[in-house]
Amino acid sequence: MFLRSALSLWPLARNGTRSYSSTGVTKLVAVTVDDQTGIATVNLQRPPVNSLNLELLTELSSSLTDLEKNKSRGIILKSYSDAVFSAGIDILEMYKCEEERVTLFWSALQEVWIKLYGHFAPTVACINGHAPAGGCLLALSCEYRVMVKEKTIGLNETKLGIVAPQWFIASLVNIIGQRQSEVALTTGKMFTTEEALRIGLVDEMAENTEDAFSKSLEFFKKFKNISPFARAQTKAFIRESTIQALVKNREKDLKMFINEIRKENVQKGLGQYLESLKKRKVS
Ligand SMILES: CCCCCCCC/C=C/C=C/CC(=O)SCCNC(=O)CCNC(=O)[C@H](O)C(C)(C)COP(=O)(O)OP(=O)(O)OC[C@H]1O[C@@H](n2cnc3c(N)ncnc32)[C@H](O)[C@@H]1OP(=O)(O)O
C-alpha cells in the first residue's frame, strides 16, 4: 500500500514501468521503475564507455536520493552498453584538472559511493561489460554482482601509477578478504568474469545482458519472506563502520586525492595512459 502511494509520484508508462530523471530530462542516467515489483533499473548511459565525470556522478547521486525518498524496492545498476559497464573515472577529470572542478568531482564520487553503499533497499550490479577501477567500485558498492562472461573487472589503479583510496580498498576487502585484495590491488589485477566468480568477486556469471538482467531480478526474491526493516537495518549495521570511515574523513580524503593527482609523475603517467588508451583496442 505504502509502496504504491510512494510510487504514484512517478509517471506511469504504458508498459507498466515508470521512467524519470532527477532533472526531468533523461541524460546520463536513466531510471525506470517497474510498477509491479517496485524495482528500479538505473542505466548508466554516457557513451562511449560510461567513464565517470562530474555530470554523470551528479545525476547518479540525485537519482539515488530520489530512489531513497520514494522507497524503491530494489536497484539494478547496469550499463546502456553491452561492451562496458563503466571505464571508471574519466581520466580527463584528473589530468590537467582545475582545482574547483576536481573538488566538485571527487566530492560527487564520495557522495555516490556513500549513497549506493548505504542504500536501504537491496542493490544489484548487473555488470554487462568491462568494469575497471571506478567501474569496479560501483559494482562493489552493490550487495550482489551478476557479470556477463568474458568481461573484466578489478581495481587496476596501481597500473596507472595511482593509489586506490582506503574506501575503494575497504569495498574490495569486504567482499574478497584481505589476502586476495592485497595481491589484486598491488598488481592492479583485472579479473576475467570466470576468475572473478572463482574468488567471489562476483556472485553469478551470465551468458549475455538479458540473462544477467533476469538473474539480477532473481536476487530480490531471496527477500520475499524477510521483513524489509530487518533486512535494511542489518545491512546498515554491517556496512556502518566502512561508511563512517569515509564520512568522518571526507575533507582529508579530498585533500589527499588532489595532492596525489597533482604530482608531476602522476600527471605524466595519466597523460601517457590516455595516449595508450587511444592506441589500443579491447575486443
Ligand atoms: C596516498 C594516496 C592516497 C589516495 C589518493 C587517491 C589517488 C587517486 C585515485 C584515483 C582513482 C582512480 C580510479 C579510476 O577509475 S581511474 C580510471 C581507470 N580506468 C581504466 O583504466 C579503464 C581504461 N579503459 C579501458 O581499459 C577500455 O577503454 C575499456 C573500458 C576496457 C573499453 O574498451 P573499448 O570498448 O575497446 O573502448 P576504447 O578503449 O576504444 O575506449 C573508447 C574511448 O574511450 C576512451 N576512454 C576509455 N576509458 C576512459 C577513461 N577511464 N577516461 C577517459 N577516457 C576513456 C578511450 O580513450 C577511447 O577514446 P577515443 O575514442 O578518443 O580513442
pLDDT per residue as tens digits for the range 231-283: 999 999 999 999 999 999 999 999 999 999 999 999 999 999 999 999 876 54
Q: Using alpha carbons only, what angle is made at residue 107 by residues 184 and 24, rounded to the nearest 5 degrees? A: 110
CA of 280, closest atom in ligand 1? 39
pLDDT of residue 109: 98
How would residue 27 be classed by pLDDT, with cut points 50, 70 and 90? confident
Averaged confidence pLDDT in the chain: 92
pLDDT of residue 17: 60
**Domains of the chain, residue spans:** 4-282
Pairing of strands 152-154, 191-192: antiparallel
Which tens digits make up the pLDDT trace of 133-158? 999 999 999 999 999 999 999 999 99
- Please say if the pLDDT value at position 165 is more than 60: yes
pLDDT of residue 22: 47
CA of 52 to the centre of ligand 1 (A): 9
Q: Is 130 in the pocket of ligand 1 (CB under 6 A)?
A: yes
| DSSP element (H, E) containing 17 | strand 17-20
Which pTM value belongs to this model?
A: 0.93
Q: Is 129 in the pocket of ligand 1 (CB under 6 A)?
A: no
pLDDT of residue 19: 58
Pairing of strands 123-127, 204-206: unpaired
CA of 107 to the centre of ligand 1 (A): 19
Q: Using alpha carbons only, what angle is made at residue 213 by residues 208 and 218, rounded to the nearest 5 degrees? A: 125
Is the ipTM value over 0.90, yes or no? yes
> Ligand 1 pocket: which of 167, 190, 277 to mutate (most atoms <8 Å of CB)?
277
- Please say if the pLDDT value at position 216 is more than 50: yes
Q: Is 282 in the pocket of ligand 1 (CB under 6 A)?
A: yes
pLDDT of residue 71: 87
Which tens digits make up the pLDDT trace of 43-101? 999 999 999 999 999 999 999 999 999 889 999 999 999 999 999 999 999 999 999 99
Cα distances (angstroms) measured from residue 240 to each of 97, 165, 247, 251: 33, 18, 10, 19
CA of 92 to the centre of ligand 1 (A): 9
14: buried, middle or exposed (CB in 10 Å: 19+, 13-18, 0-12)?
A: exposed
Q: Is 163 in the pocket of ligand 1 (CB under 6 A)?
A: yes
pLDDT of residue 148: 98
Q: Cα dihedral sign for 70, 71, 72, 77?
A: positive
| Fold observed for domain 4-282 | 2-enoyl-CoA Hydratase; Chain A, domain 1 (3.90.226)
